[in-house]
Amino acid sequence: MKKLLLLIILEICLVKLSFAQNQYQKFQVSEDIEIIKINDNAYVHVSYAEVSGWGRVASNGLIYLNNGEAALFDTPMTDSLTKDLMDWISSKLKAKVTLFVPNHWHRDCIGGLAYLNSLRIESYANEITGEIAKSKNLPIPAHGFRDSLALSLGDKKIFCEFLGAAHALDNIVIWLPSEKILFAGCMAKEVGSKNLGNTADADLTAYPETIKKVLNKYRNAEIVIPGHGEFGGIEILKHTLELSSKK
C-alpha cells in the first residue's frame, strides 16, 4: 500500500512538472532544434540527433543573455546544427555569442566546437575536458581551468565548477546566480529517468558523492537543467542521487 501511494505521488509530481514546463514559451528553429524561454535572460536549446545504439536523442544546452551579448553552454551534436542555432541567436535574440563553456567532452556538449572555433568565440572548459578532447583528436577549447572559474557576461557573473566525476570524468556544473539557474548537464537526470542512462564513460563509484556535493552547494537553485529531458527544480538532483546510490 505504501509503495502504491509513493507511485501515485510520483506520477502526480511528474504530471505537474511536465505541465509546468509546457507553460514556457517555445520557438521552433528547425526540425531538429527547439528553444524554450525560461525568462528574458535564459533560454534552453534542445537539439535532436541520431546516436548509435540510442536512436534519435534530444540534448539540452543553455543560452544566457545580457545586453546584446550571449554565453552558450553546450552545443548541438554537429557543426551544422550549431550554425543553425547561432544564426537563430543572432537573428531572433539580436545577440552575439562571446563565450562558450561545455559541460564535458561528449558530442552532445562539444559537437559544434569546431564551428565556434572558426568564429573565434572564446571557449572555456575543465582542463580534463581539453586533455580528453586532444587524446581523441576532437576540437579543443581555448582555455582550461582546474577546479573553478568565474566568468563575466557584461555585469553578470557565471560560475563554472568541477566537483568530481560522475557521468564523465570531466563533467562540470554552471551556476547563474542572478537567475538561480544551475546547468548541471548530463550528470543530472530528469525526474522521469529510471536509470543513469549512458554510463560508458562514467565513474559510478564517485557519482553519488559528486551529486551530494552539487546538491549541498546549490540547494537554492530554482531551476536545474539536465543534459537530456525536462528541467525542473532541486528534485532533479535528489532523484539523481537516488539513482546513483543504487547498487
**Parallel/antiparallel/unpaired status of strands 122-126 and 96-101:** parallel
Q: Cβ contacts of residue 191 below 8 Å, gap of 6+?
A: 13, 14, 17, 230, 232, 235, 236, 239
Q: Which residues constitute the domain of residue 153?
A: 24-245
Q: Along the 247 residues of the chain, how does pLDDT read in single tens digits?
A: 444 444 444 444 444 444 455 689 999 999 999 999 999 999 999 999 988 877 899 999 999 999 999 999 999 999 999 999 999 999 999 999 999 999 999 999 999 999 999 999 999 999 999 999 999 999 999 999 999 999 999 999 999 999 999 999 999 999 999 999 999 999 999 999 999 999 999 999 999 999 999 999 999 999 999 999 999 999 999 999 999 998 5
The verdict on residue 154 lying in a domain is yes
Residue written as grid cell 551534436: 77
| CATH code where residue 204 lies | 3.60.15.10
**Any domain includes 1:** no
Asked if residue 69 is part of any domain, the answer here is yes
In a domain, 14, yes or no: no
Question: How many domains does the chain fold into?
Answer: 1
| pTM for this entry | 0.90
Residue 5 lies in a domain: no
User: Could you give the 3-state DSSP secondary structure of residue 13?
Assistant: helix
**Active-site residues: which are they?**
104, 106, 108, 167, 186, 189, 198, 228
Note whether 179 and 223 are within 8 A (CB): yes
What ranges in 67-226 are assigned the alpha helix state H? 79-92, 107-110, 113-118, 127-135, 207-217
DSSP string, 180-202: TEEEEETTS--TT-SS----TT-
